[in-house]
Structure 1
Amino acid sequence: MATEIRVPTLGESVSEATVATWFKKPGDSVAVDELLCELETDKVTVEVPSPAAGKLDEIVAKEGDTVGVDALLGMIAESGQAGSSTDVKERKAKPEDTATAHAEPKGDEAKPDSGKSVDVMVPTLGESVTEATVSTWFKQPGDTVTQDEMLCELETDKVSVEVPAPASGVLSEILKAEGTTVEAGGKLAVISGGAKTTADAPPPAKGGEDVAAPKSPAPETAAKGRDVEDAPSAKKIMAEKNLSADQVTGTGRDGRIMKEDVQKALTSPAPSRTESPSAPRAPVAAEDAGREERVKMTRLRQTIARRLKDAQNTAAMLTTYNEVDMSGIMELRTEYKDLFEKKHGVKLGFMSFFTKACCHALQEVPEVNAEIDGTDVVYKNFVHMGIAVGTPSGLVVPVVRDADGKSFAEIEKTINALGQKARDGKLSMAEMQGGTFTISNGGVYGSLMSSPILNPPQSGILGMHKIQERPMVVKGQIVIRPMMYLALSYDHRIVDGKGAVTFLVRVKEALEDPRRLLMDL
């Protein structure tokens, strides 16, 4: 019985997609949930997993085709079904099988099971993440590996992904060196099950033909061909709009032009299409050039730079300031911190107070918790609080989901767990998506005042700062109080000045008198 491969639900208001890449060919064996192909929509890249195990019998929608929701993409036949054997025979005659000649003997030669090779593939990287950079190889060709032993680490836009060995054997070949960009479902290396000499030495050429000679450059050459190939949907729009590739700045892998790049070029002023993406570097004196060090930006740092600049270019960003007397919170923490830790097993920190205060203020000023989608404003009747965390590799923002319904203890436990994962590089994509508002605490690094940048598509971010004792006038008397400056950056397209100031005042009132949080005042 054959199983149909259908286009999944693409998202709200998205009715069609373009087939970007097939990772399998007709006749290939597939497992349940194994990645088959990628679709490109107007907003995201959608991965299509295999609905059943068997062999890919037919590809109906080819790369570059436009398909609608629930359209037929291909067919999967069960192993052993009629037609499967024919597919296998056809595949044996295909020239691409020569790329694995080191693992499978040619002709009618029998091959022992111990000599079989296993491909090390790029795992699924997360929702809307299609590529990564090979960060570190922990093994070298010829090393013996055991199943689930760590082989290498990949770096995506936001997190690091570890790749374990799919089987025991000898790492015979590394196809993607450190620093190489790879796609989800791509091949990283080959593990041989035979002796070490099998991995080190290529098999003898037959019929005077050196089969092993092109083995190393072939994957690299193929990869380069794919790297520079623009997205099918992008080429289609460029052809329709009579736009050449040199008028579009590609943001995909190795400058690959994506659909959104073409749309951005069409909406931007004409002169900017030919401008360099960055200003040329100023000349450097010869005596200084020898003392410089050039290091390539990590993918995470590149993403941070791009997203922050996009936020400035897109949103009408404005910042309003206030200050808060932290005496009330500090006295409350001093009085109850031991009892709190004894009962809940976690320390009572400042972040739970700020999270609660922001949730309280967002109820009164809901536009700060909303986002713009085209010509619509999307109001969120929940609060997924993003907590900015600094890590050795860059800034990440894990999300405390449904923070408005959590207790102080639940918030502290969640923040501690997410913070530890962030520092260890173990955060998943799901744990960093869906935030509706963000809190950034620059005070832990000693910042006294700053203007935080929005985290798109959010419309507000609160900046905390250093607590510093300052002389204040209270009821006609000069007293020393622990004060903190607060900064709210907001998108003026959706949040008016009155709403922003009201929000910050409500946060200030709740922090200076924490009892207001209990009374919902």
Structure 2
Amino acid sequence: MSIELKVPVLPESVSDATIATWHKKAGDAVKRDENLVDLETDKVVLEVPAPVDGVLKEIRHQVGDTVNSEQIIAIIEEGAAAAVPAPAAAAPAPVAAPAPVAPTASAKSTEELSPAGLRVATEEKIDPSKVAGTGRDGRVTKEDLVNYGKGGSTPAAAAPAAKPTPGARPEERVPMTRMRARIAERLMQSKNSIAMLTSFNEVNLSEVVKMRKALGDAFQKEHGVKLGFMSFFVKAAAEALKRYPYVNASVDGNDVIYHGYQDISIAVSTDKGLVTPVLRDVQDMSFADVEKGIADYATKARANKLSLDDLQGGTFTITNGGTFGSLLSTPIVNPPQSAILGMHTIKDRAIVENGQIIAAPMMYIAISYDHRIIDGKDAVLFLVDIKNQLENPQRMLLGL
């Protein structure tokens, strides 16, 4: 029986998707729940599993095609077995059988091509082993072959090459992924539609460092997750947002929406771009809940398993450029939110404390905010509130 493989129902915020990678080719055997194809949307990569055991009989849309909700993209023959070539007729055994020849790199690469990719490679007489693959696990896609045929792709595995020609100015043109294009669009939207301003402060993290050293092992033993710096910032932000509701608000036309909860987006870097999964109801979460939530999102992001629900919503964002060594930055507001907190790297710097010059672990922090609804005074006081909580962590436990 033939089964139609369809695009999943896409949320209202996602109009269509692009086929990113086929993991099977026509004629391959498939198993129920095995991922067959990756669909890239503006926000996430969706996996489409096989609904039944059988054979992938027909692929109707190739890599790069744009598809819509519930559109048929392939046909699966349920219960069928992959075709096995019939054995050749027995022939008289040779006197001395030659040693088997290992398959060439070209043959191996050809086996991994999609039908469309195989057609391009055959028509253009391209050796796939010489093409740099941009698909999952380095697979060569149809687009890679087309670009290579136009002279726009670099060989993946060339023979030990000579040194670059002095004065050479190589270039490579690669189309943006849908996610990267959408990120660029939202960044420009934020810059063009928000009256954005950034304020800075610095935080002495000595007390946080002491607490992590004193209780970190016990915390990990009890909760199964490390006590990091991010949970302190997330909890401090949640407490400060309660006292400065403007910072937790958003603009909708001529209205200001005040949120009576703290859903905090955490910026996570992935190979495809920056995503912001949301920790919901942070005001009710413990430090352990926050750390587990962040760890779970980080694992999902690395495996491209984030769902649209994970990314939607959020009333405030925290981004940590310090992970990559950033000392200072001006983060961009994530609309329709009205503010974003930027964390940075921790550096030992000389400060004056009780009349003495000492070295302390210091971090610059920044808040970028929508000046249409947040006054400078409120933004500065919000940042000072976070500073006070982090320099005196017990304040968070007492709601001060």
Q: Which amino acid is 1:135 matched to?
A: A
Structure 1 counterpart of 2:37 = 152
Structure 2 counterpart of 1:23 = none
The Cα shift of 1:192 comes to 3.1
The Cα shift of 1:125 comes to 3.0
- Closer, same or farther: CA 288–122 of 1 in aligned 2, 3 Å: farther
The Cα shift of 1:159 comes to 1.3
Q: Does 1:303 align with 2:182?
A: yes
Structure 2 counterpart of 1:110 = none
Preserved CA contact (<8 Å) 1:122 1:185: yes
Structure 2 counterpart of 1:477 = 356
Q: 1:501 aligns with which of 380, 386, 391?
A: 380
The Cα shift of 1:519 comes to 2.2
Tell me the alpha carbon deviations over residues 437-490 of structure 1, each in whole angstroms, 9 at most, x when there is no partner: 010000010000000000100001000000001111222221111100000000
Preserved CA contact (<8 Å) 1:398 1:418: yes
Q: 2:231 aligns with which of 345, 348, 352?
A: 352
Tell me the alpha carbon deviations over residues 160-219 of structure 1, each in whole angstroms, 9 at most, x when there is no partner: 11111223333222111111111111111122356767xxxxxxxxxxxxxxxxxx9xxx
TM-score by length of 2: 0.76
Structure 2 counterpart of 1:367 = 246
Preserved CA contact (<8 Å) 2:56 2:77: yes
Q: Which amino acid is 2:344 matched to?
A: H
Preserved CA contact (<8 Å) 2:220 2:226: yes
TM-score by length of 1: 0.59
The Cα shift of 1:338 comes to 1.1
User: How far apart are the structure 2 equivalents of 1:337 and 1:195?
Assistant: 54
Structure 2 counterpart of 1:442 = 321
Structure 2 counterpart of 1:139 = 24
- Closer, same or farther: CA 409–148 of 1 in aligned 2, 3 Å: closer
Preserved CA contact (<8 Å) 1:448 1:465: yes
Q: Give the 5 Å matches for 1:85-124.
A: 116-124=1-9
Structure 2 counterpart of 1:454 = 333
SS in structure 2 opposite 1:192? Answer: strand
Preserved CA contact (<8 Å) 1:347 1:412: yes
Structure 1 counterpart of 2:393 = 514
Q: Which amino acid is 1:334 matched to?
A: K
Q: Which amino acid is 1:137 matched to?
A: W
Q: Give the 5 Å matches for 1:43-442.
A: 116-193=1-78, 291-442=170-321
Preserved CA contact (<8 Å) 1:125 1:161: no
The Cα shift of 1:334 comes to 0.6
Bigger RCO of structures 1 and 2 (CA < 8 A, at least 6 apart)? 2
User: How far apart are the structure 1 equivalents of 2:75 and 2:288?
Assistant: 48
The Cα shift of 1:290 comes to 7.5
Q: Which amino acid is 1:175 matched to?
A: R
User: How far apart are the structure 1 equivalents of 2:172 and 2:329?
Assistant: 30
Preserved CA contact (<8 Å) 2:322 2:345: yes
Q: Which amino acid is 2:295 matched to?
A: N
User: How far apart are the structure 2 equivalents of 1:317 and 1:477?
Assistant: 38
User: How far apart are the structure 1 equivalents of 2:75 and 2:289?
Assistant: 45
User: How far apart are the structure 2 equivalents of 1:518 and 1:173?
Assistant: 60
Identity %: 54
Preserved CA contact (<8 Å) 1:320 1:487: yes
Instruction: Count how many residue pairs are aligned between Structure 1 and Structure 2.
Output: 319
Tell me the alpha carbon deviations over residues 113-169 of structure 1, each in whole angstroms, 9 at most, x when there is no partner: xxx322211112334223111111111112222333221111111211111122333
Tell me the alpha carbon deviations over residues 228-265 of structure 1, each in whole angstroms, 9 at most, x when there is no partner: xxxxxxxxxxxxxxxxxxxxxxxxxxxxxxxxxxxxxx
SS in structure 2 opposite 1:418? Answer: helix
Preserved CA contact (<8 Å) 2:29 2:81: no
Preserved CA contact (<8 Å) 2:317 2:340: yes
Preserved CA contact (<8 Å) 1:369 1:458: yes
SS in structure 1 opposite 2:231? Answer: helix
Q: Which amino acid is 1:291 matched to?
A: P
Tell me the alpha carbon deviations over residues 395-437 of structure 1, each in whole angstroms, 9 at most, x when there is no partner: 1111110001111111111111122111211111111111000
SS in structure 1 opposite 2:214? Answer: helix
Structure 2 residue runs of 5 or longer lacking an equivalent are 84-114, 116-165
Preserved CA contact (<8 Å) 1:127 1:429: no
Tell me the alpha carbon deviations over residues 327-375 of structure 1, each in whole angstroms, 9 at most, x when there is no partner: 0100111111111111112111111110111111111211000011111
The Cα shift of 1:288 comes to 9.0
Preserved CA contact (<8 Å) 1:369 1:380: yes
- Closer, same or farther: CA 344–177 of 1 in aligned 2, 3 Å: same
User: How far apart are the structure 1 equivalents of 2:76 and 2:173?
Assistant: 35
Q: Which amino acid is 1:451 matched to?
A: T
Q: Which amino acid is 1:515 matched to?
A: Q
The Cα shift of 1:503 comes to 0.2
User: How far apart are the structure 2 equivalents of 1:344 and 1:142?
Assistant: 48
